[in-house]
Amino acid sequence: MKTDSIREEHSRARDWLITAATLGGACLLCMLLRRMDEGDIYVSMIFLLAVAVVARFTNGFFYGIAASVAGVLAVNYAFTAPYFEFCLSISGYLLSFCSMLAVSVATSALITQIKRQEQQRCRAQVEEMQANLLRAVSHDLRTPLTSISGAASVLIAQPEMDAAGREKLLREIVDDSDWLVRMVENLLSITRINAEPANLNKRPEAAEEIIAESVRKFRKRFAEPPVEIRLPDELVMVPMDPILIEQVLTNLLENVARHARATEVRVSLRAVRDQAVFEVADNGVGLPPKQIRSIFDPIPGRGVSDGSRSMGIGLSVCRAIILAHGGAIEAENLPEGGACFRFCLPLKEEHYEFNDDHTDR
**CA atoms of 248 and 332, how far apart (whole Å):** 17
Please write the tens of the pLDDT for every residue from 82-99.
777 777 666 566 676 677
Which of 179 and 337 is assigned the larger pLDDT?
A: 337
268 pLDDT band (50/70/90 cuts)? very high
- The CA radius of gyration of the chain, in Å to the nearest whole number, is 29
Please write the tens of the pLDDT for every residue from 188-217.
766 666 555 545 678 899 999 999 999 998
**CA atoms of 330 and 319, how far apart (whole Å):** 9
Sequence-ordered list of residues with C-beta below 8 angstroms from that of 343, at least 6 positions apart, any chain: 248, 277, 278, 318, 322, 327, 328, 329, 330
Indicate the angle between helix axes 242-255 and 312-324, nearest 10 degrees: 150
140 pLDDT band (50/70/90 cuts)? low
Q: What is the pLDDT, as a whole number, of residue 88?
A: 66
3-class DSSP assignment, residue 286: coil
pTM for the whole thing?
0.55
**CA atoms of 70 and 68, how far apart (whole Å):** 6
Which of 131 and 15 is assigned the larger pLDDT?
A: 15
